[in-house]
Structure 1
Amino acid sequence: MRFTTSRTVKTVLATAVATSALVVPAAGSATAATTTGTAAAAPAPFGAAADTIDAKCRSHGRNYVVRQYYRGPGKYTLRCGTKTWGWKHIKLRHGWNSTMDRKISAAIWSGAPNGRGGFSTYTNQCPSIEKFRTIIGTPAGRNDLLTAYKVNTLAAAGAKC
């Protein structure tokens, strides 16, 4: 009798663990970031897969949204754009890949306002050096990504360390 009860408890516990693994979102998912309240990790950008953006922009107009990035409750979009703004501009002038996508997401999610209508990420040293910059605001909308690129400039001339 004792063996049967112990075996039943083990079966119930194993089932409970397997069920909870199905209910709890993965640590890197956008759902996990919103349900766990983690502010350090940027949620995954929402939109078409990086390798299909070119095909989407060929078959849609310049105002077609290919990515959505978040900063708190705010949403910023990346549209197909033209050679002077948006995804087509970034691809042509600065290159596009999954790393660029992640850097844009991180800058918007947790970067500091840069005075150019966007957000930047900086090194954690003194004086801090700007690593990556986004500029927000296009002819299609004020919360649209104009451009994004890598930079290496000192943050402020009179920065105190």
Structure 2
Amino acid sequence: MRLYPSRAVKAALTTFTVISALTIPTAGSATAAMTSSKAGTTSAEVAAASIDAKCRSHGRNYVVRNYHRGPAKYTLRCGTSTWGWKHIKARHGWSSTMDRKISAAFWSGSPNGRGGFSTYTAQCPSVEKFRTIIGTPAGQNDLLTAYKVNTRAAAMC
């Protein structure tokens, strides 16, 4: 004999799920930043500490972030002082803003001729704002580095 949940049980579970989803703060919300921060630290510092802890307990090839461009997937690995997350953190600084800029460059940036993607201003002539470079000893689709730039683009309007 099979038991099926009643409509009342299904409705109650659905209502509970919706209410739970509405009351749990999302990662980018101010509430999440306040609840996840500890005595004077920001959520970006907490996230960096979390990645740092993962990299301490795993090797340089451990994947800490995935970024997407259509069906293609690009990875950020722990890396070393010359590539990956450890390099970006030490040389360019790691924050939630850096993470968002990397994601935006992959998702909607233009190929930059350095094996990565860049974002540009909407003015004429364009100014490159942010650059990613792909290709590490660990893999072709791995993020080598990412940084803010402000050089003039070669193309004229």
| Common fold by TM > 0.5 | yes
* Counterpart position of 1:101: 99
**Which secondary structure does the structure 1 equivalent of 2:150 belong to?**
strand
* 2:88 equivalent in structure 1: 90
1:129 corresponds to which letter in structure 2? V
Asked whether 1:149 is paired with 2:147, we answer yes
CA distance in 2, matches of 1:153, 1:70: 26
Q: Tell me, yes or no, if structure 1 residue 160 matches structure 2 residue 156.
A: yes
Amino acid at match of 1:74: A
Deviation at 1:87, TM superposition (A): 0.2
CA shift for structure 1 position 50: 4.0
Find the residue that maps to 2:66 and give its secondary structure: strand
Matched, 1:134 2:117: no
Residue 68 (structure 2) aligned to one of 61, 67, 70: 70
Measured against aligned partners, the alpha-carbon deviations of 1:30-55 in whole angstroms (never above 9, x if no partner) come to xxxxxxxxxxxxxxxxxxx4441000
C-alpha deviation, 1:143, in angstroms: 0.2
After TM superposition, the score normalised by the length of structure 1 is 0.69
Give the counterpart letter for 1:160 in structure 2: M
Secondary structure of 1:155's counterpart equals coil
Name the counterpart of 1:55: 53
Cα distance in 2 between the residues matched to 1:134 and 1:124: 19
* Aligned counterparts of 2:141 and 2:156: Cα–Cα separation in 1: 33
Structure 2: where are the runs of 5+ without partners? 1-10, 27-46
C-alpha RMSD over aligned residues = 2.4
Calculate percent identity across the aligned residue pairs. 82
Considering only CA atoms, is the larger Rg found in Structure 1 or Structure 2? Answer: 1
Distance 1:131 1:160 in 2: 17
Q: C-alpha offsets along residues 36-95 of structure 1, whole Å, 9 cap, x if unaligned?
A: xxxxxxxxxxxxx44410000011100000000000000000000000000000001000
The number of residues matched between the two structures is 121
Instruction: Give the whole-Å Cα distance in 2 for the aligned partners of 1:151 and 1:142.
Output: 23
Give me the TM-score of the superposition, normalised by structure 2. 0.71
How far apart are the structure 2 equivalents of 1:92 and 1:160? 35
CA–CA distance in structure 2, aligned partners of residues 134 and 108 of structure 1: 8
Separation (CA, whole Å) in 2 of partners of 1:50 and 1:110: 25
Distance 2:112 2:140 in 1: 16
Aligned residue for 2:118?
120
Distance in 2 (alpha carbons) for counterparts of 1:100 and 1:51: 15
What code does the residue aligned with 2:143 have? Answer: L
